[in-house]
Structure 1
């Protein structure tokens, strides 16, 4: 089994970058989202008093509990946690010796602390995915104090075991994401027409999404078929003993994520998925020359390698032809695909396959543990080193086994029978650890939205209920002439929640009432989260929201001069939110019940820490998110390149 030292280092570097994106993106939005005058002030959350470390981790573990002891308010505390996260992730990104368990444990705890108070604005799958991947990075990173003496982090024999957990997470993420598209019984997925709507209806499309939307229908159908193949079938190659097949799986997964990045702004999610894909590689991928072991492979080993590789590729083609009816169109100028299995057949297949995937994962983990133990005794020279290395492997094996078993509870959600057959004790363990988000269930794009048109909530203000002016957001569609933008890896959380709000009603999105109230009062922190305030001098007296359906313009409607054309067309659907006034009694009572009018806590005494956090916030303010995030990343990347060039 190949070494994974370079793989481990690449994974840890990528995780540091993802953390940097996450913390810096959230930092610029704290005042407007969760600040004292924000949409959902975190200060209204009550924290139970804890008297021990055990009690701290039993409830909702967050370091914000400690802020009063430091003389900080909750808002300043969130600023502090974000700044610490940015600093630590920047150090892990730029200095190799900082990439150890202590730093990654701190990063995980910092993000978990923010997640616990994030409320609606943190209800995203990529946030819980980052928490799970972040916890695994603690296990992947070496536990040492080499940061004190600036020494290269050594290779450990249990690295293959910890990286297996990353691979297992990647498998659960991709396999579940593919399966739920079919178990949801969404007609667009079953009809292979989902991409006909996806590029138009996704939250924040990029400029390239317009072009992708107008691709030939047969090519979009083929794209859906490829998605099913990449998400449901190819993940089984993650556990292949042949390097070529694992690399093929790596390339296909990365290709899918790059396609999503180019056409949609999904913040750091796709980059995080690519980071998980690094676990499919070994050191041979990162080295310029093949290892000595690769050159010493026997003739029959290479023959078996070649035969199994050809067989795997052949089976993929067989699946395309048999189960997706792949064929040429008229004149051999296109490819046609159609699902050739029934919903009942798929349900039966899933019920049989999920238990086998668990067995496959368990066997793969067992092999990793066994090989790691054998390697300890083969590579170490002294008995003491063999025993200590074996102890480390056994310790990691125990942790990995626990993580694997606990992950079965959220994983088997995709199949009711498999979930029911799990031992009650396993479910008990998961229930006790669930609040830490060590393992979660996933399933992206379960149902395709926007089939009848992209729903958008347009908020309007007026002073006379006759002349209504629209509020425009920073990134989401609103202005018909506004060109879509690239904003990832920054995540504009308000824009995202506005997209979700358009899929339902304001009764199911009560935060929207607070947002509208902040607009009626002209709250500066909240106004920083939108692009165009039509009432710069004085807030409007009335506010309302209307639901519209947006569609891309056709190629014939587009001109060469992008600035003078409409990218969108729209039609009004209905009233989304009735007219609101600031002093409306019902609105005031609702805000009172939800703690919006609670007195804002003031700093009792200004110490050095309070002044430092306030100074940084006053200096940066609330800058544009994408620019802020990419500026910090560019600085770190520049340091990386200089260090590599000068061998520093």
Structure 2
């Protein structure tokens, strides 16, 4: 694939990553005080305890730019505000101006998000945050280095022959993401995936469903089982077409992935994750798909057509066979898995190592064609050699990234680890702290089978009666409240409440921190919660109850019966008071009580930067997360449209 044929494709990918960074920074910014502030649930100051005076100190322990913020006389919370706001501003400019989408900008964006991730603790330890770090690092390699020479003749080209090599790495990341996500569902031996009944529970049990999830939950059982089979087809079989030499097969793979992501977006709030996956799918496209004219090439269209038909026929027949599909008299399609766990384990053990060898061959072929283009598409001798040197440099970088990615990829099966070179393992161990390559696999096991567990926090001034519920913005609570649409914003407290319900408070120590803050009516934390039943004075006691939630059935009047039904399962957390000895002891161990003391430093200690950061925070206030994120995104897109209209 010529570098000229993917120039606009590359630019679209860079634009998409810029937009996702913008959403990620905007979403996190409004939650920093309640999550990481000095009086938040997990104060970041307890993680960042040292100041860096040298490069070595910066990289020691937890490498984060927050170690430098004390030099600006900023608290850790103000430092997070500064980093997040810088990320907001820079990604905002990258969305508007194509010239800003260069290597330097994406290096800064990656460093800013990585620094925040390092202190994010459990509220930032999600697969999509890690995926953004890996995709963001690849974006650095793909983005142009906009160095403007004083002499026009030496102006840096808008595209390079090695662009196709870097875009191949993005495609390889997409392959690993989808293939691993599909395989782990079956290797986990979860009975709902093997029985094709996962969607019977998924729409109800996922973290934050959308209103459409209620309607999808009511679909016929045969259709839901068929949808699970199609999901396996898209996640396990289709990714092999990402590297097909036939363009129509790659486009088919693109549309299949887009269909899956759109359906997920319609039924679930997964913040920027699905948008990021769709951005990775851009690596399957070319400029012709985007409407840009290309030079006509005489290729074997008939051969490509035949190859595509053979591939479609093979995939269709194997899918029909492996999932035992059968058309019934009622015009429904019944389906069931016809292979055994042992047979699938043999498939993974045999096929996955070949994907590694195939990836190495495909990467080598991409490199070879890039070098050939250096000497065939460029006329001047000097620029031929310069392009070849660039290709050589990026080939080494690309080969290193490929080698690093094989280590987490090999976790799919124990036999695959034998194929990964020892040099790759050693290289991965050196850079593992920077999350340049990770393993993926969402919904390994289906949760909420038999009803979704939900923790409901209650407060009261008496142990006997008067218990009133705290209502969160987005997670299920009141049974008559409609599920929200909140993506691309991620309410991280609501998400962790979902995880807390799957376990116990002993395995989620942050939950006790939350309870302690509620017993103190801490404003920053209460800003993350929609309804505080004790606005004037905190309650004496707080407890948590575990409920089991179910969707109401189709045909019921949601105006009277609500969207949910629920029944009490058990007590999740016994009633605690602020002076409870066990709670106080735990708060002292974690440092919450000491960190909860508000800063009393005088104004003379505040620097200009700290006053500016605090002023911005006061001006923005505490808006609702989804509204703030969408306002920022729409403002950026509108400004881009106006700017483009004026400049044109």
Segment drifting more, 374-383 vs 125-134: 374-383
**TM superposition shift of 1:47:** 4.0
**TM superposition shift of 1:242:** 1.1
- Residue aligned with 1:64, SS: helix
**TM superposition shift of 1:152:** 9.4
**TM superposition shift of 1:643:** 3.3
Given the alignment, which residue of 540, 565, 578 partners 1:582?
578
Q: Distance in 1 between matches of 2:580 and 2:53?
A: 43
Q: 1:323 maps to which residue?
A: 322
Q: 1:64 maps to which residue?
A: 66
The 5 A counterparts of 1:217-616 are: 217-289=221-293, 291-293=294-296, 296-298=297-299, 301-331=300-330, 333-465=331-463, 466-559=465-558, 562=559, 564-599=560-595, 600=597, 605-616=605-616
Q: Distance in 1 between matches of 2:348 and 2:159?
A: 39
**TM superposition shift of 1:485:** 0.9
Deviation digits for residues 210-243 of structure 1 (CA, Å, limit 9, x no counterpart):
0000001111011100100000000000000111
Over 3 Å counting, the alpha-carbon distance change for 1:221 and 1:626 in structure 2 is same
**TM superposition shift of 1:193:** 0.5
TM-score (norm 1): 0.96
Contact 1:97-1:153 within 8 A present in 2 as well: no
| Structural RMSD (CA) | 1.7
Contact 1:96-1:152 within 8 A present in 2 as well: no
Contact 2:206-2:268 within 8 A present in 1 as well: yes
Deviation digits for residues 85-132 of structure 1 (CA, Å, limit 9, x no counterpart):
000000110000000000000000000000000011011000000000
Over 3 Å counting, the alpha-carbon distance change for 1:567 and 1:326 in structure 2 is same
- Residue aligned with 2:573, SS: strand
Segment drifting more, 475-484 vs 59-68: 59-68
**TM superposition shift of 1:148:** 11
| 1:197 has 2:201 as partner | yes
TM-score (norm 2): 0.96
Over 3 Å counting, the alpha-carbon distance change for 1:397 and 1:194 in structure 2 is same
Q: Distance in 2 between matches of 1:602 and 1:95?
A: 42
- Residue aligned with 1:546, SS: strand
Deviation digits for residues 13-43 of structure 1 (CA, Å, limit 9, x no counterpart):
0000000000000000000001000000001
Contact 1:267-1:487 within 8 A present in 2 as well: yes
Q: Distance in 2 between matches of 1:496 and 1:198?
A: 15
Over 3 Å counting, the alpha-carbon distance change for 1:91 and 1:628 in structure 2 is same
**TM superposition shift of 1:321:** 1.8
Contact 1:73-1:602 within 8 A present in 2 as well: no
Where structure 1 has 5 or more consecutive residues not aligned to the other structure, the ranges are: none
**TM superposition shift of 1:380:** 1.3
**TM superposition shift of 1:160:** 0.3
Over 3 Å counting, the alpha-carbon distance change for 1:124 and 1:370 in structure 2 is same
Q: Distance in 2 between matches of 1:170 and 1:102?
A: 24
Q: Distance in 1 between matches of 2:494 and 2:108?
A: 29
Q: Distance in 1 between matches of 2:51 and 2:388?
A: 41
Segment drifting more, 47-56 vs 59-68: 47-56
Q: Distance in 2 between matches of 1:69 and 1:270?
A: 38
Deviation digits for residues 36-57 of structure 1 (CA, Å, limit 9, x no counterpart):
0000000111445555435533
| 1:625 has 2:629 as partner | no
Q: Distance in 2 between matches of 1:444 and 1:146?
A: 43
- Residue aligned with 1:285, SS: coil
Deviation digits for residues 299-353 of structure 1 (CA, Å, limit 9, x no counterpart):
xx0111101110111011111221111110223x111111110000000010001
Q: Distance in 1 between matches of 2:109 and 2:32?
A: 18
Contact 1:502-1:547 within 8 A present in 2 as well: yes
Where structure 2 has 5 or more consecutive residues not aligned to the other structure, the ranges are: none
Deviation digits for residues 547-589 of structure 1 (CA, Å, limit 9, x no counterpart):
0000000112234xx4x44100001000100110000111111
Contact 2:205-2:448 within 8 A present in 1 as well: yes
Q: Distance in 2 between matches of 1:416 and 1:52?
A: 41
Q: Distance in 1 between matches of 2:431 and 2:408?
A: 12
Given the alignment, which residue of 187, 191, 199 partners 1:187?
191
Contact 1:100-1:141 within 8 A present in 2 as well: yes
Q: 1:96 maps to which residue?
A: 98
Over 3 Å counting, the alpha-carbon distance change for 1:146 and 1:227 in structure 2 is farther
Over 3 Å counting, the alpha-carbon distance change for 1:605 and 1:459 in structure 2 is same
- Residue aligned with 2:138, SS: helix
**TM superposition shift of 1:146:** 4.7
Segment drifting more, 599-608 vs 525-534: 599-608
Contact 2:58-2:67 within 8 A present in 1 as well: no
Over 3 Å counting, the alpha-carbon distance change for 1:16 and 1:325 in structure 2 is same
Given the alignment, which residue of 176, 182, 206 partners 1:178?
182
Q: Distance in 2 between matches of 1:492 and 1:155?
A: 39
Over 3 Å counting, the alpha-carbon distance change for 1:610 and 1:55 in structure 2 is closer
**TM superposition shift of 1:420:** 4.1
Contact 2:470-2:533 within 8 A present in 1 as well: yes
**TM superposition shift of 1:147:** 12
| 1:209 has 2:213 as partner | yes
Contact 2:78-2:614 within 8 A present in 1 as well: yes
Segment drifting more, 593-602 vs 506-515: 593-602
Contact 2:99-2:146 within 8 A present in 1 as well: no
**TM superposition shift of 1:363:** 1.0
Contact 2:19-2:91 within 8 A present in 1 as well: yes
**TM superposition shift of 1:181:** 0.2
The 5 A counterparts of 1:78-157 are: 78-146=80-148, 154-157=158-161
Contact 2:58-2:65 within 8 A present in 1 as well: no
- Residue aligned with 1:387, SS: helix
